[in-house]
């Protein structure tokens, strides 16, 4: 008998259900007797012992469904070892529920923070296998995360839709794309959507360089300009501030997000109309695209194979077009940033795209 626990943690995204289905079907189709316990709402379910025994039918018909049928929540790693208001030791509680159910392994689907906690549980002696979920594609150790391509498709569609109204009215349009720390989503959606300017956290921008690009386009006969701006885009001035100084500045921040600050500044400097569009959480929603359905299924299947082989302590990742297993200790706490000198950035610049630098 193999008993596994399964949970999804952090922000939701497309193909979580597809990945869990891949794990379950691989195990159920093996010659082993299998029990799968689904913990509800992420690590909170594991902490408080909220779970249900899942059957084969629970994984039928979910390949195309977005979100996660187990529910999810954010349980910050920085507080995971701090007792809650009821003096509950969260790590001890998770271990207790793991052993109470006599689990052979925990399958954990999540992003950066989720992997930190997963590695902590591994260090505490639990058997863990993880799957890389995030629309940001910022997990170290894997070239791709599931949910990313679906989010790129949605963000690209938003930019595509802006083109016609921007061209019709001769305006500057800013499309704000998700990504507080890393710009992979904005970079890919911006290139796919034909954005003229792409602003990402890894490349601090100079507003005067942005205005210059807009004027160049105007002089060439272009009546509009589209900017793809990451949530975490930052000016060169702010990038020079210490974390403490930046935090103090943000306490009195009057804008809903950086896009609105850029919009106000551009309107003043260019004299043109500027509009902001924020697709927001639509980028996390809807059905997974075909790529993510296949990709998540493959990752899930490989996770199932590792469980059957009793190989634990790994994230199932993707490198050089091959599914690989990556030691959890190598993944936890590392972000895969966009290198400002990366080939894709250089190619974007050759296409005439400005990064405001």
The answer to whether residue 136 is catalytic is: yes
In DSSP notation, 141-188 reads T-S--BTHHHHHHHHHHHHHHHHHHHHHHT-EEEEEES-SS--HHHHH
Q: What is the pLDDT of residues 90-130, one digit of tens each?
A: 999 999 999 999 999 999 999 999 999 999 999 999 999 99
Q: What is the dihedral of CA 281, 287, 288, 290, to 10 degrees?
A: -140
Catalytic residue among 33, 104, 136, 357: 136
The average pLDDT across 13-32 equals 96
Q: How many other C-beta atoms can be found within 10 angstroms of the C-beta atom of residue 160?
A: 15
Which token pair is 222? 């272009």
Question: Cα separation of 29 and 19, whole Å?
Answer: 16
Q: Give pLDDT, residue 285.
A: 94
Rounded to two decimals, the pTM is 0.94
Percent of the chain scoring above 90 in pLDDT: 84
Q: Give pLDDT, residue 246.
A: 86
- In the chain the domains, ranked by start, together with CATH numbers, are 2-147+288-331 (3.40.50.450), 149-284 (3.40.50.460)
pLDDT at position 232 over 90? yes
Percent of the chain scoring above 70 in pLDDT: 100
Q: What is the pLDDT of residues 177-195, one digit of tens each?
A: 999 999 999 999 999 999 9
Q: What is the pLDDT of residues 253-303, one digit of tens each?
A: 888 999 999 999 999 988 888 999 999 999 999 999 999 999 999 999 999
Q: Give pLDDT, residue 170.
A: 81
82: pLDDT confidence band, cut at 50, 70 and 90? confident
167: pLDDT confidence band, cut at 50, 70 and 90? confident
Beta carbons of 110 and 80 less than 8 angstroms apart: no
Q: What is the pLDDT of residues 298-332, one digit of tens each?
A: 999 999 999 999 999 999 999 999 999 999 999 99
Q: How many other C-beta atoms can be found within 10 angstroms of the C-beta atom of residue 354?
A: 22
Closest CA to 235 of 262, 272, 257: 262
SS (H, E, C) the chain: CEEEEEEECCCCCCCHHHHHHHHHHHHHCCCCCEEEEEECCCHHHHHHCCEEEECHHHHCCCCCCCCCCCCCCCCCHHHCCCCCCCCCCHHHHHHHHHHHCCCCEEEEEECHHHHHHHHHHHHCCCCEEEEEECCCCCECCCCCCECHHHHHHHHHHHHHHHHHHHHHHCCEEEEEECCCCCCHHHHHHHHHCCCCEEECCCCCECHHHHHHHHHHHHHCCCCCEEEEEECCCCEHHHHCCCHHHHHHHHCCCCCCCHHHHHHHHHHHHHCCCEEEECCHHHHHCCCCCHHHHHHHHHHHHHHHHHHHCCCCCEEEEEECCEEEEEEHHHHCCCECCCCCCCHHHHHHHHCCCECCC
Which of 64-78, 182-196, 221-235, 241-255 is least confident?
241-255
Q: Give pLDDT, residue 286.
A: 95
């Amino acid at each position: 008998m193999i008993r596994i626990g399964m949970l999804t943690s952090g922000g939701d995204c497309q193909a979580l259900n597809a990945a869990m289905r891949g794990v379950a079907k691989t195990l159920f189709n093996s010659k082993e007797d299998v029990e799968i316990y689904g913990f509800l709402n992420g690590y909170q379910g594991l902490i408080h012992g909220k779970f249900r025994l899942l059957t084969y039918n629970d994984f039928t018909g979910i390949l195309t469904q977005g979100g996660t049928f187990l529910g999810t929540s954010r349980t910050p790693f920085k507080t995971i070892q701090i007792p809650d208001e009821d003096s509950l030791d969260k790590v001890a509680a998770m271990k207790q529920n793991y052993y109470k159910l006599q689990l052979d392994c925990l399958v954990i689907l999540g992003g950066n923070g989720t992997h930190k906690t997963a590695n902590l549980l591994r260090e505490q002696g639990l058997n863990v296998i993880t799957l890389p979920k995030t629309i940001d594609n910022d997990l170290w150790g894997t070239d791709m995360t599931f949910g990313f391509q679906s989010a790129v498709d949605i963000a690209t569609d938003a930019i595509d839709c802006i083109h016609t109204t921007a061209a019709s009215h001769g305006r500057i349009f800013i499309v704000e794309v998700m990504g507080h720390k890393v710009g992979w989503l904005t970079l890919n959606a911006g290139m796919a959507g034909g954005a003229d300017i792409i602003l990402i956290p890894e490349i601090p921008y100079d507003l005067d360089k942005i205005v210059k690009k807009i004027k160049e386009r105007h002089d060439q006969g272009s009546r509009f300009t589209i900017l793809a701006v990451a949530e975490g885009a930052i000016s060169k001035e702010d990038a020079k501030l210490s974390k403490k100084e930046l935090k103090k500045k943000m306490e009195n921040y009057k804008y809903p997000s950086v896009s609105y600050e850029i919009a106000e500044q551009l309107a003043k400097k260019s004299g043109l109309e500027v509009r902001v569009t924020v697709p927001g959480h639509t980028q996390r929603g809807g059905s997974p695209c075909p790529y993510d359905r296949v990709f998540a299924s493959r990752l899930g299947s490989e996770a199932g194979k590792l469980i059957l082989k009793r190989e634990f302590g790994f994230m199932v990742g993707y490198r050089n077009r091959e599914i690989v297993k990556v030691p959890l200790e190598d993944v936890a706490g590392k972000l895969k940033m966009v290198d400002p000198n990366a080939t894709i950035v250089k190619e974007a610049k050759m296409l005439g795209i400005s990064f405001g630098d």
